[in-house]
Amino acid sequence: MLIDTHCHLHDGKYDADREAVLLRARESGVERVVTVGTSVRESEQAVFCAEKHDSVFATVGLHPHVFNGGAFRDSEWEEDLGYYAQDGESVVSEEVRRDALGKSLLSLEKLIESSSEHVVAVGEIGLDYFSHDPKRVIDEGQRLWQREGFLSQVKLAQKHDLPVVVHCRDAYDDLLHLFSSGEISRSERVVIHCHMASVEQAKQFLDSGVFFSFTGNVTYSKRDDDEMSRVLRLVPLERMMVETDGPFLTPVPLRGQRNEPAYVRHVAEHISRVKNVPVGDVEAVTTKNAQQFFGI
C-alpha cells in the first residue's frame, strides 16, 4: 500500500477522467491521495474533491506565490494579497494586504471547520524566491510578505491542531532560520514537500524534526553520487513520505506525460534502489509515516 501525500487531484487536467485516475491508483496499490490547495478557490476545490471520494483528503492554504502578486490570485480579496499590484510595479498598501490576508485566513478556517473530517493539513504554504522571469527577482518586500503570510498560516494550523505542508524553493536557508529562531516550533508537525535542499541543509532539517516528501523529480538523477541521491541516502525512511505533485513532475520512465497518483510507485522504487532497501520497506514505512502525520 502507498499514499500519494501531495497531488492536485482537483486540478482541471483531471476533469475528464478523475474517476479513472483514482481507479488506476487503487490498482497500483495507492489507497489514499492528499489533494493540496494553493489559494482560497483551489482549497475549496480540494475540499470538494475530498468530499466526493472516500480515498481522497484535502489540505487548505495559500501558496507563497499568492503573496508576490500573480497567477494564483483568484478571489476578490486575493487580488489584493500580492505585494505588487496587477501592473507588477506599484506596491499594494500594507493595510489593504493585511485586510486581504485576514479575509483569506477566515475563508480557510471556515473550510477547516465545515469539513474537518476531510481537511488533514494546512498547505501548501511556505517561501518561494524563484522567478521565471530573470529580469524580475523576488525582492525583500515580497520575501518579508511571504514570510508573514506563511507564519500566519502556521498559526492557523496550530489553532486547529493540524500539520503543515511546506513549499520551499530557493529559500531553504530562510526556512531553516524560522526553525532555529523558534518562530516555527519543533513540536509543529511539518513536511517539506518536493524536498530539493542540499545535504547540509537536509542535515539541519533533520535536527528540526521535519519530514521530507519526495516526488518524481528524484528519478531525474543521472548518477547515484549526485546531491539528490546523497540526500535520499541521508534521510531515514522513518522521516520520509512519497508524492507525485501531479499533474506535475512526472517520474521517469513516464516523464512528459501528465502525472497521476498511480505513478508514485516509481518514486518509491527509485528510493528503494538508491537506499538499497526492499521496496516493500519503503512502501510500509512511508505509508505509516503518512498515516500518522495526516491522521488518515
Output the pTM of the full model.
Answer: 0.95
Which amino acid, residue 24?
R
Q: Cα–Cα–Cα angle for 280, 186, 157, nearest 5°?
A: 85
Q: What is the CATH number of the domain that holds 218?
A: 3.20.20.140
pLDDT of residue 74: 60
pLDDT, averaged across the chain: 95
pLDDT digits (tens, 9 = 90+) for 204-254: 999 999 999 999 999 998 888 899 999 999 999 999 999 999 999 999 999
Residues with Cβ within 8 Å of residue 5, at least 6 apart in sequence: 34, 191, 193, 213, 241, 242, 243, 290, 293, 294
Please tell me the distance from the alpha carbon of residue 82 to that of residue 88, in angstroms, as a whole number. 10
pLDDT of residue 70: 55
DSSP E strand stretches across the chain: 2-7, 30-36, 56-60, 119-128, 164-169, 190-192, 211-214, 240-242
pLDDT digits (tens, 9 = 90+) for 107-159: 999 999 999 999 999 999 999 999 877 778 899 999 999 999 999 999 999 99
Please tell me the distance from the alpha carbon of residue 77 to that of residue 80, in angstroms, as a whole number. 5
Please state, in angstroms and as integers, the Cα–Cα distance from residue 221 to each residue in 224, 231, 269, following that order: 7, 12, 14
Please tell me the distance from the alpha carbon of residue 141 to that of residue 162, in angstroms, as a whole number. 29
Range of the domain at 149: 2-294
Neighbours of 226 (CB within 10 A): 12
Please tell me the distance from the alpha carbon of residue 233 to that of residue 101, in angstroms, as a whole number. 40
> Between 70 and 286, where is the model more confident?
286
pLDDT digits (tens, 9 = 90+) for 169-187: 999 999 999 999 999 998 8
Q: How many separate domains does the chain show?
A: 1
